[in-house]
Amino acid sequence: MSQNQFYKFLIFIFLINYIFPSQILPINDEIKIRLNIGKRERVYHEIPEGGLLFQGIGHNIISGDSLKVEDMVKIGIYSRTVKSPTGNTKRNFSFFIQWDEKTPLELKYKEKGSKVKSPDRPGWIYTNSGKWFIYLTAGEANRNFKIFSTKGSPVTYVRVTAGFIKAEGKKGDDYKTVNRQKRIDITILNKQDEMVSTYWYPLTGSNQQQYELNGPSKVRLYTRVMGNSENNYKYFITIKEDGIEKGTNYFDSELSPTSIIANKKDSVSKWRSVWLNVPNGKHYYTFTLPDIEDNHEKTVYIRLKEWREE
């Protein structure tokens, strides 16, 4: 192999590692299983009683001067559990994820059985994958990360990947979040004096929502904020597309005289909305409340609806 060919080979290896996410392995001993997913074999790790610990994820993906700590990183968490060949068509499972000593985030899923098989455990049925994606800079990702089980959840297997994402490139019905989040029912008095129920997902300072959207399409984001004693109905929502921030949207509303949260009877504001133009392909949208004064101690509710031409 000539020197020129050798350097081309190194560049090829670098690009493969740059474009495609690589698996991040936990540091502690764990039970591993191999799963045949399509034509590929993937390794998943069982969440033990003490949890799975991942140290300095950023160290695993920063390689050389070409990659900077400001580059964006997409961390993927894929999870599955086992189910009986008979019985319920879907299986509930859940677990917590935690960065350093921050407040843990619980992820809940309800998935059907899949055609995925394991050469290690013939005859076992594994569910479809529950997915969650985290978007950070490489510097932010260079921390400890832990996954641990939820009490009462069945045995769960996870796979964690990390890879860089580029900012360049191409940029109905109610949508549901990518993981099993609790929805709230808001009752609305319509123009015909009929009570109509709609379902919304909550956003708080510690709780975000993520959706998988297929484009090209046009989606409308509806928002409301819970009533408060200060009668302050100003709030901000940050929207990210595949980890790239699309912007922070400002909303100013007022108390709705005809809408309440069912069962609780709490008041909410009138809705405000913004349009999302989803580019071609599959994309993940993350909605958060930025940590600013107008958002403090507030709960915002969101709802996504697909727009279709007549």
Which CATH superfamily, name and number, covers 3-165?
A: Galactose-binding domain-like (2.60.120.260)
Over residues 102-146, the pLDDT tens digits come to: 889 999 999 999 989 899 888 889 999 999 988 777 767 778 889
pLDDT for res 284? 96
Residue 106, token pair as written in the block: 């619980």
- Distance, in Å, from the CA atom of 54 to the CA atom of 2, rounded to the nearest integer, reads 39
Which residues, 6+ apart, have CB-to-CB distance to 77 below 8 Å?
A: 97, 107, 131, 132, 133, 134, 147, 158, 159, 160
Q: Which of 308, 288, 307 is nearest to 298 (CA)?
A: 288
Which residues, 6+ apart, have CB-to-CB distance to 169 below 8 Å?
A: none
All structural domains of the chain with their residue ranges: 3-165, 173-306
Topology agreement, domain 3-165 and domain 173-306: yes
CB neighbourhood size of 56 (10 A):
14
CA atoms within 13 A on the CB side of 90: 9
Say whether pLDDT at 285 is over 90: yes
Choose the weakest-confidence range: 109-118, 166-175, 223-232, 291-300.
166-175
Cα torsion angle, 119, 36, 22, 113, sign: negative
Q: Which of 47, 44, 69 is nearest to 58 (CA)?
A: 69
Say whether pLDDT at 7 is over 70: no
Q: What is the CATH number of domain 173-306?
A: 2.60.120
Say whether pLDDT at 308 is over 90: no
pLDDT for res 13? 33
- Distance, in Å, from the CA atom of 67 to the CA atom of 282, rounded to the nearest integer, reads 26
Query: H-type helices in 20-80, by residue range?
Result: 57-61
pTM of the predicted model as reported, rounded to 2 decimal places: 0.68
